[in-house]
């Protein structure tokens, strides 16, 4: 049963390019945890060049335009990212920098949910706080509660990379419902 008659699309972005990334595995888990009726896809950021205004001045960059189009078509964004040096991985910051450019950024006023997995005890809390600063500049609308910090991540996934921790699964389900509500508010 659909929550509402709205057609809603979420796009996921992983802040990790590593094969076997637990953060990419979180996005795979999201697919089955979004509310019924939500179309979910993932946008790759590995082909984006490093941001350089000279590239931008020379005309559209195909990988950037594809990424921006995926964001433009989405009603909401889901970001799952590791924490590097207490902050945002460079590849994710680069992608958001590219997306923020232009007269009409596809990030403006976009609802967004953040989650992150880490082998450590804090589960990406510092990265998520820094990412919220980027959201402020882009006037994005983050889900504030519930927060999803997956600590001790090696114990939360099976050998095939499937999320098995029931508490985390339930938190993600709740977060996706909250993201859905923000996306619907944007359509009213």
**98-126 pLDDT per residue, tens:** 999 988 899 999 999 999 999 988 889 99
- The answer on pLDDT for 4 being more than 60 is no
Question: What's the mean pLDDT in 25-38?
Answer: 96
| 82 vs 152: CA distance, rounded Å | 12
Distance CA 92, CA 81 (A): 8
Q: How far apart are CA 110 and CA 183, in angstroms?
A: 8
The residues spanned by each domain of the chain are 8-187
DSSP classification of residue 182: H
Q: Are 164 and 157 in contact (CB under 8 A)?
A: yes
DSSP letters, 26-95, are HHHHHTTTSPTTEEEEE---TTPPPP-HHHHHTS--HHHHHHHHHHHH-SEEEEE---BTTB--HHHHHH
Tokens 């992983």 — which residue? 14
In this predicted structure, the answer to whether residue 138 has a pLDDT above a threshold of 90 is yes
Q: Please name every residue paired with 157 in a beta bridge, in sequence order, or none if there are none.
A: 163
**pLDDT, the chain, mean:** 93
Reply yes or no on whether the pLDDT at 187 is more than 90. no
- Indicate if the pLDDT at residue 5 is higher than 80: no
What mean pLDDT is predicted for residues 128-147? 96
CATH no. of 8-187: 3.40.50.360
Q: What pTM was estimated for this model as a whole?
A: 0.94
């Amino acid at each position: 049963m659909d929550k509402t008659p709205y057609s809603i699309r979420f796009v996921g972005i992983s802040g990790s390019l590593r094969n076997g990334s637990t953060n990419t595995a979180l996005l795979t888990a999201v697919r089955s945890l979004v509310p019924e009726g939500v179309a979910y896809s993932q946008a790759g950021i590995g082909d984006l060049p490093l941001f350089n205004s000279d590239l931008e001045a020379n005309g559209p960059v195909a990988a950037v335009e594809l990424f921006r189009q995926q964001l433009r078509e989405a009603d909401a964004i889901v970001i799952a990212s590791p924490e590097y040096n207490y902050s945002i991985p460079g590849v994710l910051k680069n992608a958001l920098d590219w997306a923020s450019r232009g007269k009409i950024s596809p990030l403006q006023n976009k609802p967004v949910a953040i989650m992150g997995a880490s082998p450590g005890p804090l589960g990406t809390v510092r990265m998520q706080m820094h990412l919220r600063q980027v959201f402020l500049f882009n006037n994005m609308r983050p889900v504030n509660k519930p927060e999803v910090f997956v600590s001790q991540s090696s114990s939360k996934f099976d050998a095939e990379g499937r999320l098995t921790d029931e508490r985390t699964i339930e938190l993600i389900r709740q977060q996706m419902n909250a993201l859905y509500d923000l996306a619907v508010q944007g359509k009213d």
